[in-house]
A and B are shown apart, each in its own frame.
Chain A
Amino acid sequence: MLRLEKRPQPSKTLSYVTPVLAVLITMVAGGALFAALGKDPVVAIRTIFWDPLFGQFAFYYLPQLLVKAGPLILIAIGLSLGFRAGIWNIGAEGQYILGAIFGAGVALACYPLEAWWIFPLMVIAGAFGGFLWAMIPAILKVRFGTNEILVSLMLVYVAEQLLASMSIGLMKNPDGYGFPGSRNLQQYPSAHNAELIPDTGLHWGVVAAIVVAILAYILLNRHILGFQIRLTGEAPRAARFAGVKPPRLVLVCMGTAGALAGMAGMFEVAGPAGQISAGFNTGYGFTAIIVAFLGRLHPFGIVLAGLLMALTYIGGEAAQSALQLPGAAIQVFQGMLLFFLLAVDLLTNYRIRLTKRETA
């Protein structure tokens, strides 16, 4: 009989091994899924994980890796702070959209003026937009004890409606021949979040992601605020005893997550996406939740997890076009990753013991 036994101390080694283990199990289970869909599982897994990095068209895929990983990392690091403290912001997608709308709003308001300060102002506006949107569930939680999971999630759908309205209303391109969508910021040099080194995919958003990862690491490991965040997540009662003010922590964590998600949205709209349109958001805010956990809520883990997740995105798209795999199968595949991660996660705190049934 299998029995779970709590470890006296969480295993350090296993906390590093489990994400790798989860990826391997996902490959096996995903392979089985693809086989059931009538595709060669080995080819499918290779198309997703190998070809984008080392295949014939790697020169095309590799820059895409950074473009996708940038926003995922930026959002996931923000979310991880809250998750560590037991604050569940599920609505990063909405905060991401609002950041894009605010950032693009600044750019469109300044158009066609060319000035150095436009882009920095857009960054601030984007962060502020995401911050504001995150403050709605945060303040409701602090004031009235509402559940931040529900409120932040519902606000995603509100944000999507707002985005659709912007793209056909207030922000619609006046020179766009009636098509929905704003002006393309890629054609507005002062607002364009261009690649810093051509053909690498490296734009300001990626730089911001790396800087934020380092700052988050310092915060969590060297600063009292990070200590309080961890303490609140591990032992809420001990945290209150230590003097942590829970409402303040909710505001700080939600606000930071919102600002970072908003920044990610702004970098995206000013760069790879180029314009506000109804289909602007592609689920980064939700995928970032997986990234955060896959990275063990650790800033550097999240960087790696973001890259891995970006790989499944890109590889998934390649598999869709090369092997005609349905898009839903790719999403299931990504979901599996979180599922298996949470499952094997148990092993860091518990060990499996084989026991003979005790005879009565």
Chain B
Amino acid sequence: MTGTLLSIRGLTKAYPGVVANDDVSFEIGEGEVHALLGENGAGKSTLVKMIYGLVKPDQGEMVLNGTVYTPSEPQEARARGVAMVFQHFSLFDALNVAENVALGMAEPPKTRELAERIRTVSEQYGLPLDPWRLVGDLSAGERQRVEIVRCLLQDPKLLIMDEPTSVLTPQEVEILFATLRKLKSEGTSILYISHKLEEIRALCDEATILRLGRKVATCTPREVTAAQMAELMVGAELHRPEREPSVPGAVRLALNGLSVASPGQFGTSLKNITLEVRAGEVLGLAGVAGNGQDELLAALSGEIRAKPAMVVLDGVEIGAKGPAERRRAGLLTGPEERLGHAAAPDMSLTENALLTGAEREGLMANGFLKWGKAREFAAKIIERFDVRTPGTETAARALSGGNLQKFVIGREVLQRPEVLVVNQPTWGVDAAAAATIRQALLDLAAGGAAVVVISQDLDELMEVSDNFGALNEGRLSQIRPAKGLSMEEIGLMMGGAHGMEVAHV
């Protein structure tokens, strides 16, 4: 580390009603891996958007390589040597790797030439990539490689990575880290955004911790414990969900060789999934995004129909039944996408409470709706799950992601399901609310229901699950007791490195 690459001085950005960043200052040295740590909503995204020229700060300045740096658009940032890998990829499924990379360039070279460069750069950094493959056929980890290689082609001085490991198996994370360490050894600085503390301890030299838009601390991750960092991040000690150990009861939900085609062209078909969930049990299903999670939820909610015997609830074959009939039978689900799937964005919370609760909660009689009761039900969800909203008549889209998540999970939990299946139940939710949701899932199981939690957050799964399995390319791994599983084993269940080869760096 020879000097300072980027120094950030007093950056402030306010949006109507919320200060996203308040007087944030820190420095990134040359060849330093710097972690930016904070909960959802702590202001990490806004900060990096300012560095990448997507958002203009209200106050403060940045100095890059000794000169003032005020990017007004990403192109300017890239010209100054700042590149970014986003959490959500901006790739076109129907184009091949080289074409996708060319789309992001101002003056792309000939495809053949570009393909050659992609191949060279990707192998040089240990991320082998075939430039001619269709992006739609790539795994999430390989897609991320495309995004990284796209950045490396610009020869960046500073590489920003936003939650890069959320789509990777533990083995794939190791490959990525090797690449990042090589980049670092060549003098490239990396700004690494994450909330996964162990990763940060393994990779980063320095860490800046944000809470509610302010910088609350800086630390050297190797010298502190993960628990210390967590407390700095949350600002309080975390409440860990508790549960009484229970004896598993009768089988409530059974899947017998569940195989269905994905409705989408680039979706993942489910292949021969067999599992059992007993009363009082929480089954955690891990998997990298896009390995069949959405399809599995849809096959359980009834949005995708299967053969009758493939889905059995309390001994009754319901595989061919639709969502309304399954709900009636006690199988409730909570999809990952809140807006537009679990809830109708422009409808009020009362109407959204009706959306799945109409029948089970007796909110209608002979098809006629009882708005008074629906409002009461919505109010009950709001109260019990501490949903922050002006009232029951607020439109769903006016709620923050975390609050809407509490509402949609609460809506299912309060209907006393026999079996509850949720996908990414705490995605984008702050730590306190996540703890509330997890506790509600555990209480439900303690009350004799069977719960299936599909999640990409391994920490969450280890916290709530009795048994653990992983989805990989639409197949389910063997299901094992969650207690005592090592990260290594979990990684292998998730598909290991997905056959991605590691080049010899």
Contact = CB atoms under 8 A, between A and B. Distances in A.
B356 interface: yes
Contacts of B337: 237
Contacts of B364: 224
Given A8-B398, A235-B346, A241-B341, 10 more contacts: A10-B395, A224-B368, A224-B369, A231-B355, A234-B344, A238-B340, A238-B343, A241-B333, A241-B355, A360-B70
Main DSSP-derived SS at the A contact region: helix
B267 to A, nearest CB: 14
Contacts of A234: 344-347
Contacts of A227: 351, 354, 358, 369
A239 B394 CA distance: 19
A10 B259 CA distance: 42
Contacts, number: 78
A161 to B, nearest CB: 40
B213 interface: no
17 contacts: A8-B395, A9-B394, A9-B395, A9-B398, A222-B371, A223-B369, A224-B358, A224-B369, A227-B358, A234-B346, A235-B343, A238-B340, A242-B324, A243-B323, A360-B70, A360-B72, A360-B73
A224 B325 CA distance: 16
B327 interface: yes
Given A9-B398, A242-B356, A358-B56, A235 B368 contact: no
Contact of B303 (A10, A222, A225, A240): A240
Nearest to B70: A360
Interface in B283-325: 301-303, 322-325
B323 A240 contact: yes
Given A238-B340, A238-B344, A243 B327 contact: yes
Contact of A241 (B56, B73, B323): B323
A8 B397 contact: yes
Contacts of B495: none
A215 to B, nearest CB: 13
A70 B413 CA distance: 49
B434 interface: no
A235 B340 contact: yes
Nearest to A358: B56
A245 interface: yes
Interface residues of B, number: 37
B489 to A, nearest CB: 34
A222 B394 CA distance: 19
B367 A223 contact: yes
Contacts of B354: 227
Interface in A193-233: 222-225, 227, 230-231
A351 to B, nearest CB: 12
B342 interface: yes
Nearest to B301: A241
A88 B479 CA distance: 48
A358 B57 CA distance: 11
A236 B284 CA distance: 29
Nearest to A230: B347
Contacts of B343: 235, 238
Contacts of B131: none
A123 B288 CA distance: 60
B335 interface: yes
Nearest to B338: A238
A62 to B, nearest CB: 38
A224 B335 CA distance: 22
A243 B369 contact: no
Interface in A1-45: 8-10
B367 A224 contact: yes
B358 A231 contact: no
A234 to B, nearest CB: 5
Nearest to A243: B324
For the complex of A and B, 4 pairs with smallest distance between CB atoms: A243-B324, A360-B72, A243-B323, A235-B344
Contacts of B346: 10, 234-235
A234 B355 CA distance: 12
Nearest to B321: A243
B398 A237 contact: no
A174 to B, nearest CB: 49
A247 to B, nearest CB: 12
Contacts of B344: 231, 234-235, 238-239
Given A237-B340, A241-B301, A245-B322, A225 B345 contact: no
Contacts of B368: 222-224
Contacts of A240: 303, 323
A271 B351 CA distance: 43
B303 A241 contact: yes
Contacts of B394: 9
B334 to A, nearest CB: 10
A243 B323 CA distance: 5
A242 B322 CA distance: 10
A68 to B, nearest CB: 34
A227 B345 CA distance: 14
Contacts of B327: 243
